[in-house]
Structure 1
Amino acid sequence: MRWYEYKMELDDLHASDDLKAKLLAMQPAEEAPKPAKKPKKAIHFPRRTLSIAACGLLCGVGLYVAVHSPISLLPAGGAALSSAPETASYAAYSMDDVNSALAAPKTAVPAGGSADAMSARDAGGTGALSAEAAQTSTKLIYTANLTIESKDFDAARTALTDAVSAAGGYLESSSESSYTGSSRTLSLTIRVPQDNYASFLEAAAQAGNLVDKSEQVQDVTTQYMDIEARLSNLTAQRTRLQELQASAENLSDLLEIESSLSDVQYQIESWQSQLDWYSQQVSCSTVYLSLDEVKEYTPTEGSYLSQLSSALRNGWTGFVSGIQQLTVWVVGVWPVLVILAAAALVVRFVRRRTRK
């Protein structure tokens, strides 16, 4: 833990200045930065040496191309330049001179392969480690919402229960509604392990007709790491307070240290509960599922005629359902309707008598 971070934590602590000064003195100071090394002077070669080396390099390359070229280089008289052994030895001698003249520090290459191959392997290894580190340190919370239709409500509910058990999850909440003359609706809140999250969604979609599906991902890595850092600092403060408590000389200092220790312990428990909540949300994904009992599945795709037919069928079904509901309502309030009818008859009779 860095010194300035520890000082910021002490500023938030409810304690006297003397106690804060003691706690601050127990924190070791940061090491002074080491002085930067002076850059080494570059090695400069004389211009004359470089010129000789460049000329030797050009001559050696020209002779090497002349010897190994498939086209015979013949002078105007038709004689060859030289025999193959003499040319080869001269070229080797020239390249040795060039190498000695252009001696410079070079990158060492292991025996396992070239520098490019080693760079590629190093890059691949670093990428794999980075991906692994990102996978282990990233904290993601997955949430999904599913709406499913089924003509066989009981069979679909049984299939969902089996899918939850197979995924190793559990049912957090359940709510079922059913009214007279209408279909049933089941609302579920399911928690499944993050490793089985995708497989559970596929199994739940097979329980009926999937009407709607939405997923959300929340990255809480920053919040998680911030809470861990706070807990680390508070734990260090608690340790130092306990050390001061053991060496307290009078009662007033002891009471003050105990008060600060209680405050730090309360903060540790509060932050630890938040960290546990984040850990639980990351380890288990949440799925909100709604199962509706229907007589006909909602068409997902279709032509204009099929959509028109579905609209007519749904309109007639809604009209019949409305008439049924109205009939049930009228039967339910028949005493009120009888009283209103009797009152209307009395008013009409009184008006007739008044006119006469």
Structure 2
Amino acid sequence: MKKRILCALGLALLLTGCGSSSYDSSASNKAAQTMAASDMMTEEAADEAASEGVYEYDAVAQGSDTGSGASTAENVQKQVEQGRKLIRRMDIGVETQSFDELLSQIDAKVAELGGYIESSNTYGSSYGYEGNRSADYTVRVPADKMDEMVTMVSENANVTRKSESTDDVTLSYVDTKSRKEALEVEQERLMALMEKAESVDAIIALETRLTEVRYQIQSMESQLRTYDNQVDYATINLSVEEVTIYTPDTQEPKSDLQRMTDGFVTSVKRVLQGIKNFLIDLVIALPYLLIWAVVIAAIVLVIRMIVKKSKKKRERKLAEKMEKLKQQSGQLNAAVEQVMRKEEETDKPES
């Protein structure tokens, strides 16, 4: 009797693998674990499980196994023919001279098409001269409206790069859906057995497998929802850069004269833009320049005062020294005169 119940559970677990041609190896491992767990049932629990109708699950499994491979292949083919599951992605970079206006147009167009902005980041500031702001957008729009969105952006900005990719997930989607349906069938049969089971060991074994099946079903449902979202809504990665001069289109061939003309015009524009930016920066920095001018003027005045005082002090010391020298010179002259007078007095008697 124990061998009979083990065979019944083994065939029941193998039903899921027969219902889907690409059932993965993880499900087979879990089935083996469940069979090993059921082997721990006692003889009494096995007899009770058999009497409660587990053998009916075996009979149903054997009856439904006939022709399951052919029917699964036909279902997959039909689902593929109904419509392919394509995930579209677009990466586009643009330049604009009207940064704020273009961002407003993007927001309005996304709302008009029934999409949404998944993420957006704006860098730089409008403070100062133009040409220092950029933005990165991740936009999700209905797949059939992606071209309309890209056309709007291209008409209102200068496109510098653009790339598109398409992922065909039809086979993965159909395979996941088939596996989910097979697991749902197994879930229903396990629940039917749960209603008939009375043994604690049998109930535990069935609940363990039922929990695993439900977990796999929920995981596959989540994966299918992710596929549906990616298929229904295309992803557009949009980079916007503010510039004053558009990058020339290098894809179109140009003559030498045209290249020289375009280069000269571009150089003139850049020179004028440089002068404009300098004047703007000068006006912006004017308050700082005034403050620095006041500070420098104050420092110069202090230095001049210090130099002036030092000069006066030196002049005063020099005058004092000159006065002392004059006094010393006067005393010396007086002494010389006295000496000369004495010599004259001594010379007179002798004569």
Instruction: Give me the TM-score of the superposition, normalised by structure 2.
Output: 0.56
Tell me the equivalent position of 2:18: 5
Report the CA distance shift for 1:155/1:18 in structure 2 as closer, same or farther (over 3 A): closer
- Which of 208, 211, 234 matches 1:259? 208
Residue 244 of structure 2 aligns to a residue whose secondary structure is coil
Residue identity in the other structure for 2:165: Q
1:243 is matched with 192
Indicate which of 244, 254, 259 corresponds to 1:304: 259
Q: Match of 1:136, as an amino acid? A: Q
Q: TM-score under structure 1 normalisation? A: 0.55
- Please identify, of 134-143 and 208-217, the stretch whose mean Cα deviation from structure 2 is larger: 134-143
CA deviations on 1:164-212 (whole Å, 9 max, x unpaired) are 1221111110100005655110111100011212111111212211222
Q: CA deviation at 1:311?
A: 7.3
Does residue 172 (structure 1) correspond to residue 121 (structure 2)? The answer is no
Code of the residue aligned with 2:18 in structure 1: it is E
Give the gaps of 5 or more residues in structure 2: 1-13, 40-53, 68-77, 289-351
Unaligned runs of 5+ in 1: 33-131, 332-356
Q: Distance in 1 between matches of 2:95 and 2:177?
A: 44
Q: Distance in 2 between matches of 1:161 and 1:134?
A: 36
Preserved CA contact (<8 Å) 1:160 1:207: no
Check whether the contact 2:117–2:140 (CA below 8 A) recurs between aligned residues: yes
Tell me which residue corresponds to 1:201: 150
Matched with 2:88 is 142
Residue deviations 1:7-51 (CA, integer Å, cap 9, x gap): 96566434125969965543143448xxxxxxxxxxxxxxxxxxx
User: Which position in structure 2 is the counterpart of 1:27?
Assistant: 61
2:83 maps to a residue whose letter is: S
Which of 207, 218, 226 lines up with 2:167 in the alignment?
218
User: What do residues 205-247 of structure 1 show as CA deviations (whole Å, max 9, x unaligned)?
Assistant: 1221122211111100111011111101111111111111111
Contact 1:15 1:260 in 2 (8 A): yes
1:96-119 CA-partner distances (Å, limit 9, x unpaired): xxxxxxxxxxxxxxxxxxxxxxxx
Query: What SS does the corresponding residue of 1:27 show, helix, strand or coil?
Result: helix
What amino acid sits opposite 2:97 in the alignment? K
Q: Does residue 103 of structure 2 align to residue 157 of structure 1? A: yes
CA RMSD of aligned residues (A): 3.6
Question: Map of 1:184-199 to 2, 5 A cutoff?
Answer: 184-199=133-148
Q: Give the conservation status (yes or no) of the 8 Å contact 1:3–1:28.
A: no
Aligned residues with identical type, % of pairs: 26
Distance 1:258 1:166, change over 3 A: same
Give, in whole Å, the separation in 1 of the partners of 2:238 and 2:249.
Answer: 19
More helix by share: 2
Equivalent pairs, count: 228
* C-alpha separation in 2, matches of 1:195 and 1:142: 10
